[in-house]
Amino acid sequence: MQAQHLSNLLDSPSLCPYTCHSTLLYMDTISRESNSSYLPVAGVLVGVLALILGGIALAKVSSLNKRVPEDLQDKLTSLTTDTQSASAAADKAGKGVDSLQRSSQVAFDSIGPELGGLRDSVKKLEDAAKARVVAPKSAKGGEGAAATAVGPGEYKVKPGDTGTKIAKATGVSLSELETVNPGIDWRRLKVGQTIKTK
């Protein structure tokens, strides 16, 4: 009966303009003719395949729900609590590291000037020790050879020393050295022998 009603509508020009009437007739002709396209069949097959896969997926999800342990919620709660505890411990450790870094910097800042002062003191001590080992240089001597200081007003003979070299090194004339040291044979000086310079 519906087909009869549709046919009456299509035949009635007052109800449907000419373009509508011819378009519907043309579409009807396409569907009635033997069409060799497999596109509609492929669409139906894909739809059926989708329904089958959906059913299989539903069955798998249903069987998975049966395998989930009942105490899963308790385990998840415990895991969440452990994670929060670890996060809090990490925050506390981070604050401890920051505090340690600040206190270490303060300590280094306070020790720095002290180390500088100690370095200056050590330098002064080294300079003083060097000054004691080396005797004053001759004011008159051309070579300015350093004399070995034994004590104030004394000179210790070194290898190759002669009376003239000792006089130049100490800044005292040879005649003064002979006067102050009457018992010394100036032609036969011995290494390590002590000579008075005053």
Closest by Cα among 146, 197, 190, 149 to 173: 197
Three-point CA angle 27, 28, 32, nearest 5°: 120
DSSP-derived letter for residue 145 is P
- At 17, the pLDDT band (50, 70, 90 cuts) reads low
Q: Compute φ and ψ for 195, nearest 5 degrees.
A: -120, 140
- At 142, the pLDDT band (50, 70, 90 cuts) reads very low
> Does the predicted model carry a pTM greater than 0.85?
no
Instruction: Select the more confidently predicted residue: 44 or 21.
Output: 44
Mean pLDDT of 155-176: 90
How many Cβ atoms are within 10 Å of 170's Cβ, its own excluded?
25
Q: What is the pLDDT of residues 103-119, one digit of tens each?
A: 888 888 888 888 888 88
Amino acid occupying residue 78: S
Residue 33 has pLDDT above 70, yes or no: no
Given a contact cutoff of 8 angstroms between Cβ atoms, the answer to whether 161 and 197 are in contact is no
What pLDDT is recorded for position 1?
57
Residue 130 has pLDDT above 90, yes or no: no
Mean pLDDT of 127-145: 54
Instruction: Select the more confidently predicted residue: 129 or 131.
Output: 129
Mean pLDDT of 43-63: 89
What pLDDT is recorded for position 143?
43
- Domains of the chain with bracketed CATH: 135-198 (3.10.350.10)
Query: Cβ contacts of residue 191 below 8 Å, gap of 6+?
Result: 157, 158, 159, 161
Helix H or strand E segment including 194: strand 194-196
Helix H or strand E segment including 23: helix 18-32
Percent of the chain residues topping a pLDDT of 90: 10
